[in-house]
Structure 1
Amino acid sequence: MQNLILVGPMGAGKSTIGRLLAKELRIPFRDSDKEIEVRTGADIPWIFDVEGEQGFRDREQAVIADLSQDEGVVLATGGGAVMRPENRAALRAGGRVVYLHASIEQQIGRTAKDRNRPLLRGPDPRKVLTDLMAIRDPLYREIADLVIETDERPPRIVVHEIMERLDSLPPR
């Protein structure tokens, strides 16, 4: 079975939907951010503090290169994984890519209390999310086989739509 790779902004539901999708498909679930934490023995905010965003992105690239070569997994990626061309190429080659699209309002609602989001520590998370979305949305769309709206939709409904729409995709 081909991998299913979930991309999208913070708060789009990649981890939650990924776990449900993996369960439905009876295949393993992987989360690139969790894998980085396991491999380093440190959480992402600590990596950002010590190594900066560049250091984190280097680790992320290595993990994505590894995980995208797995077979028959659902892979949830970090929101910024699409920033590097090498990651986009690895994800695209690694399986079917599903872009979970979420509005800025949804992203704010889902990330407001999460202290594990180093990019949102500043005084204006809305501006950060808006700026990130302006840069990243075209990159998510560039590699996506499917774009799925997640706003105000229960995760199980989103999973059902992904399953339904995947069946109708032509082979690539």
Structure 2
Amino acid sequence: MPDKRPPKLPTVERLTKAALHYLERYSSSEENLRKVLERRVLKACRVHERDPQDFAEHIQAVIEKCLSAGLVNDRIYAETKTASLRRRGGSRRKIEAQLSAKGVNRATIEAVLNGDQHSDAEAARVYARRRRLGPFRNSADRTDRRDKDLAAMCRAGFSYKISKAIVDGTAEDDGTS
């Protein structure tokens, strides 16, 4: 296996190319893109024995370019991530945690979640169906696995009340009992 070439010292142009390449593949928040670029700079600085702080202005310039071009928008990122997680059965708590981990600020998260049309009860049903919990489980296993199903729902961020309603309900219930 051939040796990998050492990374080149970052310039605004190289960091811009790296950012564009990343944004072609993934949607990102401003802070997440900053972390991606900082990791790239750190890797190059280790090899060339330079201080990563020397390149902070380059990173900021690239972030500002991406923001002004509309390639990075935390509000749109939060909305699309929320919709995606809701389709997969994500709870409000899980969505908050994932958006916070990606660097979206609290005000944006609250605004997006307050405008979300889906309830946690709907998301819990989707989650239970996808994971085959409660009423979506084999009827023979259902009573034996009730506590484990409740625990799985609660770990996914759903309240005990919603989890209990889903796990103890039927596949036809709407989960709001």
User: TM-score w.r.t. structure 2 length?
Assistant: 0.26
Q: Give the number of the structure whose residues are more often strand, by fraction.
A: 1
Structure with the larger RCO, 1 or 2 (CA within 8 Å, 6+ apart): 1
